[in-house]
Amino acid sequence: MTSKTKTTAKKEEATPALVPKLRFPKFQDTEEWKIESLGQLADYENGKAYEQDILENGKYVVVNSRFISTDGAVRKYTNADYLIAKAGEVLMVLSDLPKGRALAKCYFVKSDDRYAVNQRVCRLKPRRIDGKFLYYTLNRHPRLLAYDDGLSQTHLSKGGVIECPLCVPTQKSEQQKIAECLSSVDELMAAQARKVDALKTHKKGLMQQLFPREGETQPRLRFPEFQNAGEWEEDTLDDIATFRRGSFPQPYGLPEWYDEKNGMPFIQVFDVGDDFRLKDKTKSKISKLGAEKSVFIPEGTLIVTLQGSIGRVAITHYDAYIDRTLLIFESFQKPIEKVFFSRVIQNLFDIEKEKAPGGIIKTITKESLSDFKVKYPTIAEQQRIASCLSSLDALITAETQKHEALKIHKKGLMQQLFPTTEEVEA
């Protein structure tokens, strides 16, 4: 064997076969995957800028980066010169949104969809690749995300997209099998998400029934043992509880206020979840020096956010110090069950949000909170309502965790079903 032959043999021996860690039995003994550029597998075309001529009866729905990445907002247009995306094709965002990172996010066009494609989105028409497999292997592709510096708004060029290397099984049947597998997981995730949304909707409707409406003194739905218990009492928040803001030394950014290794948890708006609990770990820890200028609250304290995400309520489950952007309920002058009262406070803020322009409360002060009027029943009925809502919250949390587990399962599955990025880039 010549030196050149030995070198070639050694190189080939060192290069692993380009196959995924997990492969369906039918394809175990088939040839390894191949790396091809996107441009070899699909036809690329940019979307177009359409006139802002919105008509309810327009023929096609426009797809833009916001539609794919966030709230599903769509516009209908009358222009004849469309770029149309049809079933089996893939749409991809070419630009980051100003308030989010949507670069390279893809959308698979289903059989019952038909879209006019707007600018900053491209249409990919599969030639030698299954459309749904293309969607899964391309969506948020690491090679395309590498163009994003995380700071400025990023735009992908046609060249950057079509030159993107994709690792693809040679047999289309294997591509389809992988796509079917991932689609089934997506369907499970969608069903689980609908279940969580249905429970949240049920809870919202239940709360509207379990608490008196504005101008009424009794709820419309009452547990049997309290049917004849009479009207609820009403007092201002100031008459029911004593409350105050937290505190933090200024200016915020000084490093001496923080101690991530040995400091105590420091609660800010970011740390309050939407499930009446704090996140398990606060984003920051306060130093001993900073703690002297802040406010300590023990486990079991009822708090509410007053800035940013206004109206998030939590009962703390660990000792902590608390920022001035939150309100602390220190004590109660009336017989109050804390879990019940946390739901009352959230309900009050939900009502305020409905009154506010755009459904968003811009700001709220401790003083304005003092005049909030609160209705409440006997302590026994409070406890019964709290128990019911806590059970429902626990169910929502459990179902949400199942949804998160499916997301993790899908991520792990994709890592097994596709060769690693390092193998593709090698």
- pLDDT, position 349: 83
CATH number at residue 175: 1.10.287.1120
Q: Which of 52-61, 197-206, 222-231, 385-394 has the lowest mean pLDDT?
A: 52-61
Q: 10 falls in which pLDDT band (50, 70, 90)?
A: very low
- In this structure, are residues 401 and 195 in contact, taking their beta carbons and an 8 Å threshold? no
Q: How far apart are CA 30 and CA 302, in angstroms?
A: 61
- Rounded to 10 degrees, the C-alpha dihedral 389/395/399/404 comes to 70
Q: Is residue 226 part of a domain?
A: no
370 lies in the same domain as 278: yes
140 lies in the same domain as 176: no
Q: Is the pLDDT of residue 8 over 80?
A: no
CATH number at residue 94: 3.90.220.20
139 lies in the same domain as 199: no
Q: Is residue 157 part of a domain?
A: yes
Domain boundary among 376, 391, 412: 376
157 lies in the same domain as 177: no
Query: What's at 226, amino acid-wise?
Result: F
Q: Is the pLDDT of residue 160 over 90?
A: yes
- pLDDT, position 98: 62
Mean pLDDT of the region 257-277: 93
Q: Is residue 41 part of a domain?
A: yes
- pLDDT, position 157: 92
Q: Does pTM surpass 0.75? A: yes
- pLDDT, position 7: 47
88 lies in the same domain as 101: yes
156 lies in the same domain as 194: no
Instruction: Specify burial of residue 418 (Cβ count, 10 A radius: 0-12, 13-18, 19+).
Output: buried
- In this structure, are residues 339 and 346 in contact, taking their beta carbons and an 8 Å threshold? no
Domain boundary among 114, 146, 169: 169
- In this structure, are residues 123 and 75 in contact, taking their beta carbons and an 8 Å threshold? no
Pairwise pLDDT comparison (40 vs 308), residue with the higher score: 40
Structural domains of the chain, count: 3
Mean pLDDT of the region 35-40: 95
Distance of CA 267 to the CA centre of its chain: 21
Q: Is residue 207 part of a domain?
A: yes
Mean pLDDT of the region 66-88: 66
Q: Which helix (H) or strand (E) is 236 found in, with range?
A: strand 233-236
Q: 66 falls in which pLDDT band (50, 70, 90)?
A: low
Mean pLDDT of the region 394-415: 95
237 lies in the same domain as 372: yes
206 lies in the same domain as 332: no
For residue 114, give its domain range.
Answer: 29-169
Q: Is residue 221 part of a domain?
A: no
Pairwise pLDDT comparison (102 vs 218), residue with the higher score: 218
Residues 6+ apart with CB under 8 A from 181: 413, 417
Mean pLDDT of the region 11-15: 49
246 lies in the same domain as 134: no
Q: What is the pLDDT of residues 303-327, one digit of tens each?
A: 999 888 888 999 999 999 999 999 9
Q: Is the pLDDT of residue 71 over 60?
A: no
Mean pLDDT of the chain: 86
- pLDDT, position 271: 96
Mean pLDDT of the region 1-15: 49
70 lies in the same domain as 118: yes
270 lies in the same domain as 318: yes
Q: Is residue 257 part of a domain?
A: yes
Q: Best-predicted range by mean pLDDT among 114-123, 242-251, 343-352, 402-411?
A: 402-411
Q: Is residue 238 part of a domain?
A: yes
- In this structure, are residues 33 and 109 in contact, taking their beta carbons and an 8 Å threshold? no
Q: Is residue 17 part of a domain?
A: no
368 lies in the same domain as 384: no
Pairwise pLDDT comparison (159 vs 370), residue with the higher score: 159
Q: Is the pLDDT of residue 302 over 70?
A: yes
